Amino acid sequence: HPDDILGKVDRCAMAVSLESRVPFLDRDVVEFALRLPDRYLREGETGKKVLRQVLTRHVPKELMDRPKKGFSVPIEKWLRKGRLKNWAQELLLSGRIGIEGYLDERQIGRMWEEFTKDRIWRPQIWYVLMLEAWLQECGKGGA
């Protein structure tokens, strides 16, 4: 399995007391789906045509027609007080972004300080962390 995605999904789901099931990975279901012509898979902008037709016999219409409803991951909480705080601080203090001239280290430091005290800079801090992690892994002179 590429990067053991099923194991990761299971651990993430269980960490928040969520049961996830993967019935569509059953070998017979996969083989059946792969044999279906494209015209049975989509109807206009709506995908999963055959699945929707089968489910209408078993699932109430109001459930079939409602929009998707996701759930959030508490990244902000983890970055401020939890599991990711030390990782984030170490990553930001490593300074690859500043050393290589991508962003102003002092400004990043101020943003981090403000982020840890208030609810500001949330998406920006995450973007900076991801850029820093990528630079360390793949950027100039990275591993």
Query: Residues 82, 27: one domain?
Result: no
For 108-127, what is each residue's pLDDT tens digit? 999 999 999 987 898 999 99
Q: pTM (2 decimals)? A: 0.53
Query: Residues 21, 54: one domain?
Result: yes
70, part of any domain: no
For 23-55, what is each residue's pLDDT tens digit? 778 899 889 989 988 888 777 777 778 888 888
Residue 84 above 50 pLDDT? yes
Contacts 24+ apart (CB under 8 A), 109-116: 112/88, 115/79, 115/80, 116/80
Query: Residues 20, 60: one domain?
Result: yes
pLDDT of residue 19: 76
Query: Residues 6, 55: one domain?
Result: yes
Query: Residues 93, 54: one domain?
Result: no
- Domain total of the chain: 2
Instruction: Of 75-79, 96-100, 107-111, give the lowest mean pLDDT range.
Output: 96-100
Alpha-carbon 141 to chain mean position: 27
87, part of any domain: yes
Residue 20 above 60 pLDDT? yes
Instruction: Show the domain range for 106.
Output: 75-138
Query: Residues 84, 30: one domain?
Result: no
The 10 Å Cβ neighbour count of residue 105 is 16
121, part of any domain: yes
Give the residue, 78 or 23, on which the prediction is more confident.
Answer: 78
Tell which residue, 66, 84, 67, has the closest CA to residue 75. Answer: 84
Residue 142 above 60 pLDDT? no
pLDDT of residue 112: 93
Query: Residues 89, 35: one domain?
Result: no
